[in-house]
Structure 1
């Protein structure tokens, strides 16, 4: 599942007439950075949700036959509602989930998540980096992680930042009554059950959320 429905308001004029996933970083649209990683591990299906300028994303993806569109043109559903709405296209079982405004270096994030995933212990497995190593990201970190990889919220303490890729069960999305809601609510429920886990990415990542982040992300990519 690749999230591409947001308005990208922090990008200012760059998203006035196009969606953020089509902004180029290093000569390639942001959404293609994520899709190329999915291609490397030969996923059987990929779902992209759309809302803002969704027609442009649909045209951009026309030559990728494995990609299916989860159309949120009537109502943007946030991350949790968007993932739940896409389940008929995704099928049963755990899914990879990625943001379209991150770029990664190092090990393919989907491959390392798959290697560490343990459904007997986990409801969600998040890919993380120390906040200071998450290029262009503003924040002190979202989570603290114990020696077994189990997560708790950092709550203002310096910690690890979520870098836009994870594996999640999707059946528990039915526990939420709202149509539009954040995946953070799903993660907090998993933390409460002791079934939210994390792992530190073997590589770099940039958060391309605002215009000044683009050259920083390109520098990260060029250094590899």
Structure 2
């Protein structure tokens, strides 16, 4: 299985006041932190190595992971966003395609990382896990993509679900230190190499406090 990068460096502003004193990945849903739930997915899928980046209240995440085999990619200066954070972590992840996972999501059903690895094909540069808007629990806002014949274009009735498999060589061509992976996705869309896969199980965006009960109900259900 490919290596896994878990993005844990965000400021968690939508989750305030819960994030006033702790980073969002350490917020518990049904008695288990969001970060541990993400790590469970990686462990069950057999991903390795596993890297977590840190920024806001990063010492708490480092203490939480102490004694584990999870590598930490600290971002002590200005936040690097997803693209810059992934590029900084590449020495820990190694060459080749990598998985990335947003921890502020709860999943039910098949392991999304296993499904991504199974669906990956030669010629793909990116493969995103998607959820139809009408199944995107606690999601705020419209869809992100249209999925047609396996390929993605912008805007439509599918939401990026926070898990992907992606080639990292395009990162070298971006001069900015901090940037979003949306930059890579747009490049891949132009090249016809960004693909999508619909997750068949449940999904909840745990981005703000009111979403926690919805996520817990999804887990119970």
TM-score (norm 1): 0.95
Give runs of aligned pairs for residues 1-224 of structure 1, distance below 5 A.
Answer: 1-65=5-69, 67-118=70-121, 120-146=122-148, 148-154=149-155, 158-223=156-221
**SS state at 1:162 partner:** strand
CA contact (8 A) 1:150 1:194 kept: yes
CA contact (8 A) 1:131 1:160 kept: yes
Deviations 1:157-204 (A, max 9, x none): x41000100000011101111100000110010000000000100201
**SS state at 1:180 partner:** coil
Deviations 1:87-106 (A, max 9, x none): 00000000000001011100
- Unaligned regions of 5+ residues in structure 2, if any? none
- Runs of 4+ in structure 1 deviating by more than 2 angstroms, as ranges, are none
The CA distance in 2 between the partners of 1:61 and 1:135, in whole Å, is: 29
Deviation (angstroms), 1:63: 3.1
The CA distance in 2 between the partners of 1:141 and 1:87, in whole Å, is: 30
The CA distance in 2 between the partners of 1:64 and 1:216, in whole Å, is: 30
**SS state at 1:135 partner:** coil
Q: Kindly report the root-mean-square deviation, in angstroms, between the aligned alpha carbons of the 2 structures.
A: 0.8
